[in-house]
Structure 1
Amino acid sequence: MSADIAALLYLVSGVLFILALRGLSSPSSSRQGNMFGMVGMGIAIVTTLAVAAPSDWISWLLIVGGIGLGGGIGAYMARTVKMTDMPQLVAAFHSLVGLAAVFVAAAALYAPEAFGIGAPGHIHAQALVEMSIGVAIGAFTFTGSVIAFAKLNGNMSGKPIILPARHAIHIVMGVAIVLLVWAFTTSADPWLFWAITILALVLGGLMIIPIGGADMPVVVSMLNSYSGWAAAGIGFTLGNTALIITGALVGSSGAILSYIMCKAMNRSFISVILGGFGGDSAAAAGAEEDDRPVKQGAAEDAAFLMKNAGKVIIVPGYGMAVAQAQHALREMADLLKKEGVTVKYAIHPVAGRMPGHMNVLLAEANVPYDEVFELEDINSEFAQSDVAFVIGANDVTNPSAKTDKTSPIYGMPVLNVEDAGTVLFIKRGMSAGYAGVQNELFYRDNTMMLFGDAKKMTEDIVKALGH
């Protein structure tokens, strides 16, 4: 294949990736966006194979075997993964992108002639810069994503693990990596390459360990951005236009998403990286016992209140995801609409454990897109609603974020559920939220607690509505 045709096909692939991102920005066009992305990736892979076609059948066999093995594992995971496990699956995928960047950089270091970047011991200076930056970001992304996976999957505590003098350690290691990159670009010493890799691997883990579970949506989008930049850096080393375009798109979109997530929590990106919610103050607050009385109700009480309401706003959270209650929730909403009740869904940007987590779950349950609203679009409507039905959301509904300056979530925009006529709150118990902060909403006069599993409670409400 000629270089001109390859460049044209890579351009087509890049345009399709841009259209994919555009499509994924809305639930109604997300399927089309996914299709654009798959077609674009298919074109990029075929073009790359055509440009760098090996001359021996063994290489072809390895390539086809690798594609088949990886594609088969990916298809199996996509079909079998539970929706509650989607955040950790995304983190796992990010780790693989980072690891791939490390492997490609190592291959380029030891076989530069195969990549057209020089000869052993005489690699072009520009390639050395690209290679070292790519491997540093890739290694950081790998271990950071592994830690994120462990926290999301429950293999590691979701609470921040605070190391002594962690900021000083991070700064020293960061400066050391920069100095090693400079030294490597001037000497091409393989030992320096592996020193960069090891330090970046350690730093990636150390940077994510102190971040609490409430900041996980930001961490996931941040690691998504890093994986993109790692891919772009290796794309320059390989001279692959499609990889550069793809990496730049993923890196920039992930960075923008991280900014949006931080804005939704009224936190700076730096504050998230330096330490997450649920630190010492939050842990202390969560550890305090609160014996204030709460109003407790049953499924029949909730069904009666909502059946006689004019407007109900549903607020889903991670508890809904864990209980897999989205289908029962949609059934409940359908019954309410048959009774003439207006039903809407309020989604907080950081509800769940990854960006868009609640939107994905509601889409899986075939909830109409026009009933789902973001925080800024629906917050003013709580005051005109008869019932706010909170299912598994905690920190994002805590009114203390607006009033308690000592709270670690102070200043975070929250859903104004307390403004509704009645708040129905499904929760297993009175434990604090993932940020380690007790929710003041539990003790409000207009709040009725519905203790139990989110799915079971919702199904009982559905039965009560049917009677």
Structure 2
Amino acid sequence: MLYIVAFALFIYGLSGLTGPKTAVRGNKTAAAGMLVAVVATLLKVDHNWALIVVGLLAGTVLGVPAARRVKMTAMPQMVALFNGVGGGAVALIAWSEFRTSDGFADSPGHVVVASMFAALVGSISFWGSLVAFGKLQEVLPGRPMGLGRAQQGVNLLLLAVAVACAVVAGLGGAPQVWVILLLVLSAVLGVLVVLPIGGADMPVVISLLNAATGLSAAAAGLALDNTAMIVAGMIVGASGSILTHQMAIAMNRTIPAIVAGGFGGSGGLVPGAADGVDRTVRSTSAADAAVQMAYASQVIVVPGYGMAVAQAQHAVKDLAKLLQAKGVEVKYAIHPVAGRMPGHMNVLLAEADVSYDALKEMDEINDEFARTDVTLVIGANDVTNPAARTDPSSPIHGMPILNVDESRNVIVLKRSMSSGFAGIDNPLFYADRTSMLFGDAKKSVLEVTEELKAL
């Protein structure tokens, strides 16, 4: 009965995550469901309570401070890391199941298959998530790093050998070395799958690895005959798979193409490097930007990863509040893959208590750019790049973007002319109606705010 209550809370909590207004409540509801599921599991059978208490204390000591202290800019890394830990736990559970059952000597077939699947996918998810964490944390380069044309052949070979090890280990009575070899090969495969994927595809990768962790947890639940793990794992796997599909559509990419090695890098191209043309940009000042926005009827703010890096969300909220006091309508245009994880910009703006009604998704806001006086782009690059519409040779051609270039005036806040994570130049920066305000995004927004106060 407690499990049924927990499942209901899981599903009700997940439904709350479909909208910003109910997301916090949904998260707390699902967390309450997990607490109920844990209690129910502890009541079900006998356990080594000393180990359980040690595990709970260790998890609490590591998890709570990490979650409380993490900066909003590092939230994608934390999501990747916590998700990876789940996959690693599942892989260890599968290994433990092999050891405690004397090498699956008398285990039913479904337990064997589920355990080996959990070991394979859980290990891939763990090590792949560590690589994603490294790229997001810039411990590893954001650019694709792979074996070139041999990459897919090597990956397929590793997968085939890992599956063969799983088959041998599952036949019953096999030496433990086969499971260890399976985990090692899966680890190498997880690293090699994510390394060639560029930073521009990282939001999709995080979502895909999350789905993989959920499916591996469901498999482990099947092996352990734990209903809570089966249901929770399938909910995570299904929702993560749907989100991955939606994110891929938002980038006009296919999931196989992303896994096969995406585009992207943190280094970027210099202006005009792609075609040899030396373009010029028009710079502006905080005072000029303030005048433009003060006399506008509508301003659209387009946040990107640059806003997250500068921690400018609170300053942006204050700027918008001042504009609204002057009779200017302010809206926020949110691209599905802006930032480094799904919903990254929503999380940042929610932290600054920006009204949910002001947050507009891409499909909802795109038609409004043509009648917008000023669009303020804060550290967004690839999601505003008109080459996605106009240049068939561009790596992002066909990707739905925010129609920023249709605005009457565009002000772009950037530190420099470096490209985004896709590693390509943005023609928007050289357009006649675009002005560049260079510098730290938070500092620039504060300067514009001060100029507005003086008007």
TM-score interval for Structure 1 and Structure 2 normalised by the shorter chain: over 0.9
Match of 2:26 among 15, 29, 33: 33
Aligned to 1:102: 91
Alignment CA distance shift 1:359-1:290 (3 Å) = farther
CA–CA distance in structure 2, aligned partners of residues 13 and 87 of structure 1 = 27
Q: Does 1:390 align with 2:374?
A: no
Offset from partner CA, 1:386-424 (integer Å, 9 cap, x none): 011000000000001101111111110010001000000
More deviation in 65-74 or 394-403?
A: 65-74
CA shift for structure 1 position 286: 8.1
**Alignment match, 1:64:** 53
1:128 match: 112
Distance 1:442 1:232, change over 3 A: same
Name structure 1 gaps, 5 residues minimum: 1-7, 113-117
Which residue of structure 2 lines up, in the alignment, with residue 22 of structure 1? 15
CA distance in 1, matches of 2:410, 2:7: 47
- Would you say the 8 A contact 1:105–1:131 is kept in 2? yes
8 Å CA contact 2:271, 2:278 repeated in 1: no
Secondary structure at 2:242's aligned position in 1?
helix
TM-score, structure 2 normalization:
0.96
In structure 1, what is the Cα distance between the partners aligned to 2:270 and 2:406? 28
Distance 1:77 1:425 in 2: 34
Could you say what secondary structure the match of 2:171 adopts? helix
Q: Is this contact kept in 1: 2:106–2:172, CA < 8 A?
A: no
Tell me what 1:166 maps to. 151
Asked whether the 8 Å contact 2:269–2:423 carries over to 1, the reply is yes
Alignment of 1:19-418 (within 5 A): 19-54=12-47, 59-112=48-101, 121-164=105-148, 165-189=150-174, 190-278=176-264, 288=274, 291-418=278-405
Whole-Å Cα distance in 2 between the matches of residues 256 and 285 of structure 1?
37
Give the superposition deviation at 1:285: 8.7
What displacement does 1:197 show?
1.1
Q: Tell which deviates more after alignment, 151-160 or 184-193.
A: 184-193
Residue 268 to residue 283, structure 1, CA distance change in 2 (3 Å): farther
Match of 1:4 in 2: none
- How many Å separate the matches in 1 of 2:123 and 2:83? 11
In structure 2, how many angstroms separate the alpha carbons of the residues matched to 1:47 and 1:9?
6
Report the alpha carbon displacement of residue 146 of structure 1 after superposing the two structures with TM: 0.4
Q: Of the candidates 6, 24, 32, which is equivalent to residue 13 of structure 1?
A: 6
Unaligned runs of 5+ in 2: none
| Stretch deviating more after TM superposition (242-251 or 59-68) | 59-68
Distance 2:204 2:271 in 1: 23
Between the aligned partners of 1:286 and 1:352, the Cα distance in structure 2 is 25
Q: Once the 2 structures are TM-superposed, how far is the Cα of residue 287 of structure 1 from its aligned partner?
A: 5.1
Q: Contact conserved, 1:13 with 1:43, CA < 8 A, in 2?
A: yes
Contact 2:84-2:125 within 8 A present in 1 as well: yes
Give the TM-score, by structure 1 length.
0.93
1:134–1:286 distance in 2 versus 1, CA, 3 Å: farther
In the alignment, the residues of structure 1 paired with residue 273 and residue 405 of structure 2 have an alpha-carbon distance, to the nearest angstrom, of 24
Which amino acid is the alignment partner of residue 12 of structure 1? V
Checking the alignment, whether the CA contact within 8 Å between 1:300 and 1:461 is kept in structure 2 is yes
Distance 1:104 1:336 in 2: 55
What value does the CA root-mean-square deviation take over the aligned residues? Answer: 1.6
Give the 3-state SS of the residue equivalent to 1:373 in structure 2. Answer: strand
Residue 3 of structure 1 corresponds to which residue in structure 2? none
Letter in 2 for 1:252: A
The structure-2 alpha-carbon separation of the partners of 1:340 and 1:285, relative to structure 1 and needing over 3 Å to count, comes to: closer
Shift of 1:119: 8.1
Deviation, 1:42, is 0.7
- Is contact 1:285–1:436 with CA below 8 Å preserved after alignment? no
Please say if residues 128 and 188 of structure 1, whose CA atoms lie closer than 8 Å, have aligned partners that are also in contact: no
Is contact 2:289–2:448 with CA below 8 Å preserved after alignment? yes
Distance 1:160 1:283 in 2: 15
How far the C-alpha of 1:53 sits from its partner, in A, is 2.7
| Residues 249-274 of structure 1: per-residue CA shift (max 9 Å, x gap) | 00111100000000000111111110
Distance in 2 between the 1:105 and 1:219 partners? 24
Q: Which whole-Å CA distance do the structure 2 matches of 1:46 and 1:187 have between them?
A: 33
Q: Which amino acid aligns with 1:465?
A: L
Structure 2 distance, partners of 1:21, 1:287, is 45
Mark the CA change 1:252 to 1:285 in structure 2 (over 3 Å): closer, same or farther. farther
